[in-house]
Structure 1
Amino acid sequence: MVLALLAAPAPLLAQAMVPGGEAVPEGPVTEPVEQSRPNHDEELAILLDRLSDPDAPAPERIEQRVIELWSDSGSDTANLLLRRGQDALNAEDYEAAIEHFSALIDHEPGFAEAWNARATTFFMMDLPGLSVPDIEQALTLNPQHFGALAGLGIILEQTGEAKGALAAFRAAQALNPHRDQVNEAVDRLATEVDGPDI
């Protein structure tokens, strides 16, 4: 889980967990010539290292570029399914979003953003029991997905698992210390779990 905004309206949470997509023309998904999955590892390593610095300049731009790279599967078909699912999610057409993201997972099961996007949709449908396994799969494929970690923290806190929520938020914070809502969650839960500072 996108993207994470604690106590934020549902559409904002969705934006935090899944990057927004541009409008995609309606019609059947065509089968373009597939390309191999792009290797963004070197650029991502540099960007994530910069993002983890609390004093990083322009962290929003760094985060946006990270999300762009995570959202590029290297497959035109998969990228189209992701954009269509995002459009449906933004339109609150959750059933259509699930269809697109499930098709995307079938097409590219190793694409972490597909699992993250479907997890977000399940969360928006108030189905955390379906959301969590998809978050776990996204994190298995991309352990540095700070949006998925923050989304997991939100669900765990909502279900009363403060200790697990704090661990998830701290992991997200270590990767991206520039989200105020995550920082506030860490402060709030640390007092509850660890006790007040003396």
Structure 2
Amino acid sequence: MLSCLLLLSLGIGQVVASEDGWAAKVTQALQTARGLPDGHPKLSTGPEVALEGPAGGPAQIGRSIPDRDVPAHYTRQELLDALFLELRDADSLRNAQAISRRIHSLFMQSGSHTLDLLMMRVGTAIDNKDYGLALDLLDAVVRLDPDYVEGWNRRATVHFMKEDLGRSLADIEQVLRIEPRHFPALSGFGMILRQAGEDEKALEVFQHVLSIYPLLENAQDAVTSLREELWGQYH
């Protein structure tokens, strides 16, 4: 699985806020993250079984439940809403990771054989470190479907690998436009801010990540270290 969470383990060059366009992009993307609600949307339609836990309703998509008056199908948005609620309330790391994988699988679903084929070729290009080809393919993906969230997310990752932070940040903003709860993209945003020396803003973003995915270990570690660094700066 390749996502913006890769940003948490990669090093980048120093970026300064005075770089052309950089400060404006940071401000715009930060406003996107700040605008997110503290809570998460409740399941507006559909049965309550969709909130029953990691083995509950969301796992039943496409299947009816014996002896219960429950529809066989949920909309993609209903399923995502339920899974994000489960992720927020998960009581163990194992359950949280399982829910996270299911959310990622929904992000990956394009509904298009053409996009699926392009994304497979992107994965191969990235494995071969052919980032130019990967970007050409991803440019086609986001042109074909500007609302396909994983196209933007993957392109943000490749731009980061090429140390093109401005373009990476612009693509992260597109991810958050489509899905504001996209915790891998938010984590990538926090890492970019941190590398740019914007520790207070980075802390804010990572804290927001934990409001979505409280058991995400990389975000927990980032919050702990940022708090220690900021405390050291003022004491």
Normalised to the residue count of structure 1, the TM-score between the two structures is: 0.77
Correspondence for 1:99:
136
Structure possessing the higher radius of gyration over alpha carbons = 2
Q: Where in structure 2 are the equivalents of 1:1-198 lying within 5 Å? A: 2-4=3-5, 8-9=9-10, 39-56=75-92, 58-193=95-230
Distance 1:169 1:42 in 2: 26
Correspondence for 1:21:
none
Distance 1:6 1:135, change over 3 A: closer
Q: Is the 8 A contact 1:6 1:181 kept in 2?
A: no
Distance 1:125 1:171, change over 3 A: same
Distance 2:207 2:96 in 1: 18
Distance 1:104 1:93 in 2: 17
1:177 alignment partner, SS class: coil
Distance 1:84 1:119 in 2: 17
Displacement of 1:106 in angstroms is 0.6
Distance 1:168 1:151 in 2: 10
2:102 alignment partner, SS class: helix
Correspondence for 1:27:
none
Distance 2:155 2:90 in 1: 30
- Over the matched positions of the two proteins, sequence identity in percent amounts to 36
Correspondence for 2:26:
none
Distance 1:65 1:164, change over 3 A: same
For each residue in 1:66-118, what CA deviation from the matched residue of structure 2 results, as whole angstroms up to 9, or x when unmatched? 00001112111112212221221222211111011110001001111111110
Distance 2:121 2:85 in 1: 31
Displacement of 1:54 in angstroms is 4.9
Normalised to the residue count of structure 2, the TM-score between the two structures is: 0.66
Distance 2:113 2:6 in 1: 30
CA RMSD of aligned residues (A): 2.3
Distance 2:216 2:7 in 1: 10
Distance 1:39 1:83, change over 3 A: farther
2:185 alignment partner, SS class: helix
Aligned residues: 169
For each residue in 1:42-76, what CA deviation from the matched residue of structure 2 results, as whole angstroms up to 9, or x when unmatched? 11111111111251452221111100001112111
Displacement of 1:151 in angstroms is 0.4
